[in-house]
């Protein structure tokens, strides 16, 4: 299997693992109303990231691929926002969120690169 075929599988796994990390985080947040509301929001957004990427891998055109990946980027941005709120509201200790926030940044960089590369390939045609 070449790198091009391996990369989507790896990113599918990576986005799923990221979602699972947030699922485990949510299980540990306090049962207060504000913690549960923010926790559910981050669950919704993080689980959409991988779903958007999986949809993108089945896209029928470059435009559809770009649209789906950009949808995942929006969900990543939202996930980062909810993680910041969990930290800033002192619901979850900020040191527990550092690696999750770092993963948001890394996944954002990867997905932005996917979009840029696809747009460049599209322009060369």
Domain ranges, residue 21: 3-120
Residue 31 domain flag: yes
Tokens, residue 52: 């958007």
- Alpha carbon 28 to its chain's center: 20
Residue 125 domain flag: no
* pLDDT tens figures, 51-106: 999 999 999 999 999 999 999 999 999 999 999 999 999 999 999 999 999 999 99
Q: Supply the CATH number for residue 105's domain.
A: 1.20.1440.60
Residue 64 domain flag: yes
Q: How many structural domains is the chain composed of?
A: 1
Q: What is the pTM of this model?
A: 0.88
DSSP 1: -
């Amino acid at each position: 299997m070449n790198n091009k075929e391996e990369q989507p599988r790896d990113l599918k796994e990576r986005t799923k693992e990221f979602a699972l990390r947030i699922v485990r985080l949510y299980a540990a947040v306090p049962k207060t109303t504000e913690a549960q509301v923010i926790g559910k929001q981050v669950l919704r957004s993080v689980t959409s990231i991988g779903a958007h990427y999986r949809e993108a891998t089945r896209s029928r055109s470059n435009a559809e691929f770009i649209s789906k990946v950009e949808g995942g980027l929006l969900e990543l941005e939202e996930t980062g926002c909810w993680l910041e709120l969990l930290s800033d509201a002192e619901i979850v200790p900020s040191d527990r969120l550092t690696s999750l926030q770092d993963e948001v940044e890394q996944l954002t960089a990867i997905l932005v690169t996917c979009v840029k590369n696809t747009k460049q390939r599209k322009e060369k045609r």
